[in-house]
Structure 1
Amino acid sequence: MRKLCNFAASNGFIIASTKFNHKHEDKVTWNAPGGRYSTQIDHILIREDRQSLIEDVYTEKAANVETDHFMVVAKVRIKKTNQNKKQSKKARWSIDKLKQEEVRAKYEEEMEKELESQESGMEVREKWMKLKACLNKTAQNVLGTEQKQKQTQWWNEKCKELVRRKTEARDKYMKTGDDNDKENYRKARNEANHGIREVKNQWMNHKLQTAENQMKNNNTRKFYQDIKKMNTIKSTRQTTKMKNKHGKTAETEEEEKQIWEEYFMTILTEDKTQRRNLGVGQEEERCERNEQISIAEQDIKEIIKKLKNGKTPGPDGINNELIKYGGDRVVKEIHEIINQIWDMEHVPEEWGIGAIYPIHKKETNRYVTTIEASPCSTPHTRC
């Protein structure tokens, strides 16, 4: 201990594990064989100018492993960055239920009831918001939300029993320190490890067989979902500073936003050169021809039928299936909205919102010119 103190003093460290007031049993890190005595021999050091980051240090005796040392735990205060802020997650509807005929019939019936109260003469934005609310409300009542499954789906009663036996054997050995109890603990630990591994392998084989059958049945969406759930390795997102077209690195979030704005203004702005060259007579003829056009309800119905299933919804959270299986009344509402938009030449502001995900195509991801924009679907792209 004296050598540790001299090392800490000469290098500007403090021994954080001796700084906080705890009971003796909460500071002990090692038990002598046979439980003759216990002491604190494992420590945590930190630079003296950073000691305020550690809020507490204590020992944790719940680690069920064969060792006479206890785990030392430190509570550290870390400042979170803006990039790690959690965004509010939208509800994900159980769309797979719509594959059942009785569920589809019930969903269409509920949509008919919800849309009966729709008032006439509303503006485009208000009409769309009412339809969106009806779609979400009916999806909530009929389909419900997807329940997130735990990563350890394979953990069953057999695993719990094996762990319970191992814990009891360890507790007995820690109290007595007897060699026979130590051997019993080793046996219980090995049985638990082999039994849990066997249960997990059986579950994994069953999942792989299920995924193989889904691939044979062309259910690729469900196949990739199951593969993703079985993959327990979570990827880490690497964040780097962006550079503008002049090579200057963005130091603040506002500067990064400015770089993205300039980039998307360049690649997404409409080329109006051809429109400027259009003659006055041609422009008037085009406007007159557009005024005479009316979109038929049957055309809207055919387009809705062609919508693909299993696609990720846009920022509005509405899946294609919610519109496809909403019945004739949903088709009628969308037909009225589209014609109203055509006549007024104005779309709801929400339809102009899209989620754009940058896909890095080269080794460097610091210049926006090496990125291809991949826009997510928005409501107005469906019809």
Structure 2
Amino acid sequence: MNMWFRHNKRRLYTWKAQGDGYQKQIDFILVEEIYPNGVNQVCGLPGADIYSDHVLLKLELEIRLKKIKRARTAIKKWDLEKLEGLDKEEIRLKLEVKMGTNYDTFPGVEDKWHRLKSGIKRRAKKPWIMQEIIAKMEERRKYKQLNNDEGRKKNRKLNAELRKETDKTRIEWLEKECKEIEELVKKEQYDLAHKKIK
């Protein structure tokens, strides 16, 4: 694409030899056949401060992305008509049996909320993040909200601890995964090894 546009000679060369100033156009930007009309400009930036004898190339590209229409999923509606005529106490007892809780033991809304919150474990996005790390993150969040010297100091300390711990657990997890892949390759179970690598 950098051969399509007319520019000053200074903007065309991409490599300059040391000393004698010998210049050549040896670096190119390749674009797929479907995009050439979207390229507005390609030129060299000889003034760019980079540690190389090559010149930085700049490409200005304008792409219109196609909007993908997604099928809407049907929203399930509750059939409330089935509840009419049923005894509320009977429904409450059935729900308690299914959920395994007895709400008479929790008098306040706050107690119910804390019971529910403690029952739900935060699910980590990364497989190597352990429950201890999540607990430390929660602790850090508390100190992050404190806008004083003690809060900032504790937040910095917990941040450093978290970084060390996450790095350590990530490396341990990666080593474990690599060993498992090596074992699968030794056993010539290439399909499982490939699946694990993916």
* TM-score clears 0.5: no
Q: TM-score, structure 1 length as denominator? A: 0.21
The answer to which structure, 1 or 2, has the higher relative contact order (CA under 8 A, 6+ apart) is 1
Q: TM-score, structure 2 length as denominator? A: 0.38
More helix per residue: 1
